[in-house]
């Protein structure tokens, strides 16, 4: 039998069972659409996470204290109190660390800011003028804290854009934090939502003032370092490491601090989003597999139902190969159609969902092609067994069936 | 029981024979569950013959029909069709023989309900490289007197008309043999008469026809009749004697054992 007639016969039989064909197709349709959508969402979120982290600057290094052990209780990373203002001053020395451009010691606490009748709870950061540079931020209006403010422990505050607008605070206003009066001297340029935390909702005060009034004297929670360029981040890391080992008097033992670079965070985040994408796509792929089993099921029903027809075709001269091809083509047509409709559905969801739900989707060619190819292969693979059953039916048994 | 009256070599040597069965045996299953459907059947059908194979159900006539139609292969023994040994062909080779040389007419018609009359008739031509299929199908339908029903579906036709479509389908490939298995089993007497007359006419036009039936009246249409019992051919007779062959229930036929195994030639 020629291919044209084999295809014609297969399609005619599918048309003869329209509802059944459509329902079988749905399984494949949803599988393909799910694969395309989940991979699209995964890629979009991976890209946005990468963009966010990259915007922080890849030449940023963060020094955090090591873990504390008090009375046998392991306090966890960052819980120790080993970093000091002296460490920050040492790192800032151009002679000791030529590749470090800026050093910003940081203490942080939650605090409620009160401006007249309105109040706002936010993160209060105590730091130095270098904070702007290490965080890659700029001042929107007014001015940032000065070295003078730090050395005199001035009661001045710089607010994030969100904080300022929600509080209704203007430049020159006096606000209170934990009952202490601060003068608003500047508002930061907004940077937009940053996912994990809103980077525009914060308050920055001199680190000396914070230590005196809020967090207690001496300790530094973190030291932010910015290398002179992206290329010197590696040597800046080594310089900071060496210097701190020296000043903390650690020979070859375990360091009581940790230095992490932004690129480490970036690769970790990449790995996490990739894993999530693979996980989601696997679930979608399983639904595609289930759709394939549905195709096999319906093809088996079809073979059983058409036993008499198969017998007749054999009596009229159809070879086992003719019947095998006919049933495989029917299965492939079902999944191929489901695949094409699935791609259409996936693209439609990709166009509509971002507008309705604000979920970013980034649909690329590769998952579309792969999902379609997998759908058709699923049809071929799951169509083979029913087709073999049809081909192997003995003509006399099949003729007796009616 | 009855053994063939002719020697094997003699059968094979006959050049004008279309069908030659030589001690064909067919056993279904194996071991203690084995069922002997055909014991040892030898049969010789010359080209142009109109033979009726008669017998009660369980006599092996259906199995014989399957083997004659190349739908099944004998367990032992030889089957020569048009001089070619077809008893050891593969399934695909048998499909080729069925398609080129045999036209089937079944009791249940076996038309595909979704296809129109001419599409049904066209079916066997799809399994070979044939051009002008519509013309051939229309010509065959014309031969069975259904030129005005070509676009009708089986459900829109009477039983007799459906069987005529089936005969047209058997004719369309211009086969050497028409094999009709109880062709009137599902028809009223009027339609039955029509179908039998049609088979008769096809035979008069020179085609070999083998008719399988349990009905002696029907068997009389043929030129000659062989009778089957318990997997063996037990007698060959002229159609006029066919009625006499029907044994009373529970009794073996009087002329069974001593009748010649192969039909008279």
To the nearest whole Å, the CA of A20 is away from the closest chain B CA by 16
Q: Does the CB of A308 have a partner CB in chain B at under 8 Å?
A: yes
In this complex, do B71 and A312 lie within 8 Å of one another by their Cβ atoms? Answer: no
Q: Is residue B12 domain-resident?
A: yes
Domain that holds residue B85: 8-245
Which of B108, B114, B127 is nearest residue A316 as measured by Cβ atoms?
B127
Q: Which of A314, A321, A402 sits opposite B108 (nearest CB)?
A: A402
Largest CA distance in chain B: 55
Q: pLDDT digit string (tens) for B126-160?
A: 998 777 889 999 999 999 999 999 999 999 999 99
Going by pLDDT thresholds of 50, 70 and 90, the confidence category of residue A340 is: very high
* B256 domain-assigned: no
**Interval A119-161: pLDDT, tens:** 888 889 999 999 988 888 888 889 999 989 988 989 999 999 8
Size of interface A-B (CB pairs under 8 A): 66
B98–A402: do the CB atoms touch at under 8 Å?
A: no
Given a cut of 70, whether residue B7 has pLDDT beyond it is no
Is B255 among the domain residues? no
Please tell me the distance in Å from B242's CA to the nearest CA on chain A: 28
Chain B nearest-CA residue for A312: B110
Residue A91's pLDDT band (boundaries 50, 70, 90)? confident
pLDDT of residue B6: 38
Per-chain mean pLDDT for chain A: 84
Mutate to test the interface with B, among A7, A305, A313, A316 (most CBs of B within 10 A): A316
The residue in chain A having the minimum alpha-carbon distance to the alpha carbon of residue B103 is A316
Assembly ipTM: 0.82
Nearest to B114 among A12, A312, A318 (CB): A12
Is any Cβ of chain B less than 8 angstroms from the Cβ of A16? yes
Taking CA–CA distances from A1, the nearest residue in chain B reads B127
In a domain, B147, yes or no: yes
pLDDT at A226: 86
B-facing residues of A in 314-353 (CB < 8 A) are 314-322
Looking at A280-294, B32-46, B90-104, B234-248, which range is the least confident one? B234-248
CB contact under 8 A, A317 and B169: no
The pLDDT score that the predictor gives to residue B161 is 94
B177: β partners:
B102, B208
CATH number at residue B209: 3.40.50.300
- The answer to whether residue B259 sits within a structural domain is no
Range of weakest confidence among A13-27, A195-209, B196-210: A195-209
Minimal CA separation from B130 to chain A, in Å = 10
Residues of B with Cβ-Cβ distance to A1 under 8 angstroms: 126-127
Task: Give the C-alpha separation, B62 to A3, whole Å.
Answer: 34
Q: Which of residues 198-227 of A touch B (CB under 8 A)?
A: none
B82 vs A358, more confident? B82
What's the total number of domains in chain B?
1
Measured between beta carbons, which residues in chain A are less than 8 angstroms from residue B92? 319-321
Domain for residue B213, yes or no? yes
Label each residue of chain A as H, E or C: CCHHHHHHHHHHHHHHCHHHHHHHHHHHHHHHHHHHHHHHHHHHHHHHHHHHHHHCCCCEEEEEECCCEECCEECCCCCCCCCEHHHHHHHHCCCCCCCEEEEEEEEEEEEEEEECCEEEEEEEEEECCCHHHHCCCCEEEECCCCHHHHHCCCCEEEECHHHHHHHCCCCCCEEEECCEEEEEEEEECCCCCCCCCCCCCEEEEEHHHHHHHHHCCCECCEEEEEECCCCCHHHHHHHHHHHHHHHCCCCCCCCCEEEEEHHHHHHHHHHHHHHHHHHHHHHHHHHHHHHHHHHHHHHHHHHHHCHHHHHHHHHCCCCHHHHHHHHHHHHHHHHHHHHHHHHHHHHHHHHHHHHHHCCCCCCCHHHHHHHHHHHHHHHHHHHHHHHHHHHHCCHHHHHHCC
Q: Cβ contact (<8 Å) for B124 and A395?
A: no
Pairwise CB contact (< 8 Å): B69 & A315: yes
Give A73-85 pLDDT, tens digit per residue.
555 555 556 788 8
């Amino acid at each position: 039998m020629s291919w044209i007639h084999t295809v014609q016969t297969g399609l005619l039989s599918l048309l003869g069972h329209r509802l059944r064909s459509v329902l079988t197709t749905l399984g494949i349709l949803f599988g393909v659409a799910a694969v395309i959508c989940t991979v699209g969402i995964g890629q979009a979120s991976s890209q946005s996470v990468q963009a966010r982290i990259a915007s922080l600057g890849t030449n940023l290094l963060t020094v955090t204290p090591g873990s504390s052990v008090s009375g046998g209780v392991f306090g966890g990373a960052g819980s120790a109190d080993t970093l000091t203002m002296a460490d920050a001053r040492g790192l800032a020395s151009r002679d000791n660390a030529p590749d470090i451009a800026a050093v910003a010691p940081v203490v942080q606490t939650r605090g409620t800011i009160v401006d007249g009748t309105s109040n706002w709870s936010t993160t209060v950061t105590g730091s130095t003028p270098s904070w702007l540079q290490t965080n890659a931020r700029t001042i929107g209006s007014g001015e940032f804290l000065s070295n003078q403010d730090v050395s005199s422990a001035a009661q001045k505050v710089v607010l994030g854009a969100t904080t300022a607008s929600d509080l209704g605070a203007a430049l020159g206003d006096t606000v209170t934090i934990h009952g202490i009066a601060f003068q608003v001297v500047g508002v930061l340029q907004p940077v937009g939502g940053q996912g994990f935390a809103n980077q525009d909702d914060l308050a920055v005060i001199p680190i000396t003032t914070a230590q005196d009034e809020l967090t207690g004297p001496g300790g530094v929670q973190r030291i932010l370092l910015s290398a002179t360029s992206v290329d010197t981040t590696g040597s800046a890391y080594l310089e900071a490491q060496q210097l701190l080992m020296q000043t903390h008097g650690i020979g070859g033992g375990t360091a009581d601090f940790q230095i992490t670079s932004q690129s480490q965070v970036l690769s970790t985040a990449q790995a996490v989003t990739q894993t999530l994408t693979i996980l989601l796509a696997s679930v979608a792929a399983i639904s595609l597999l289930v759709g394939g089993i549905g195709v096999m099921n319906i093809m088996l029903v079809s073979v059983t139902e058409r036993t008499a027809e198969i017998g007749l075709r054999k009596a009229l001269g159809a070879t086992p190969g003719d019947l095998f091809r006919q049933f495989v083509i029917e299965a492939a047509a079902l999944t191929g159609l489901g695949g094409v409709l699935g791609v259409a559905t996936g693209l439609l969801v990709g166009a509509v969902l971002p507008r309705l739900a604000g979920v970013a989707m980034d649909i690329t060619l590769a998952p579309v092609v792969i999902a379609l190819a997998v759908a058709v292969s699923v049809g071929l693979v799951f169509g083979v067994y029913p087709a073999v059953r049809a081909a192997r039916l003995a003509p006399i048994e099949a003729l007796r069936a009616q | 029981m009855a053994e063939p009256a002719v020697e094997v070599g003699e059968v094979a040597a006959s050049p004008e024979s279309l069908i030659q069965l030589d001690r064909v045996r067919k056993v279904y299953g194996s071991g203690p569950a084995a069922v002997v459907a055909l014991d040892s059947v030898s049969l010789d059908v010359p080209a142009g013959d109109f033979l009726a194979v008669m017998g009660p159900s369980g006599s092996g006539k259906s199995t014989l029909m399957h083997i004659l139609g190349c739908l099944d292969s004998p367990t032992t023994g030889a089957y020569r069709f048009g001089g070619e040994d077809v008893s050891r062909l593969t399934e695909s080779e048998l499909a080729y023989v069925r398609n080129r040389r045999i036209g089937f007419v079944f009791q249940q018609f076996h038309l595909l309900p979704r296809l129109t009359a001419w599409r049904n008739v066209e079916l066997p031509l799809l399994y070979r490289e044939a051009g002008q299929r519509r013309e051939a199908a229309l010509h065959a339908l014309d031969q069975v007197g259904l030129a005005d029903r070509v676009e009708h579906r089986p459900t829109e036709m009477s039983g007799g008309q459906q069987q005529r479509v089936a005969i047209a389908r058997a004719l369309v490939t211009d086969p050497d043999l028409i094999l009709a298995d109880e062709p009137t089993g599902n028809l009223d007497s009027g339609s039955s008469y029509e179908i039998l007359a049609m088979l008769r006419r096809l035979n008069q036009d020179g085609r070999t026809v083998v008719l399988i039936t349990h009905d002696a009246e029907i068997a009389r249409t043929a030129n000659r009749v062989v009778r089957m019992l318990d997997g063996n051919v037990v007698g060959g007779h002229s159609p006029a004697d066919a009625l006499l062959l029907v044994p009373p229930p529970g009794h073996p036929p009087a002329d069974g054992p001593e009748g010649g195994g192969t039909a008279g030639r």
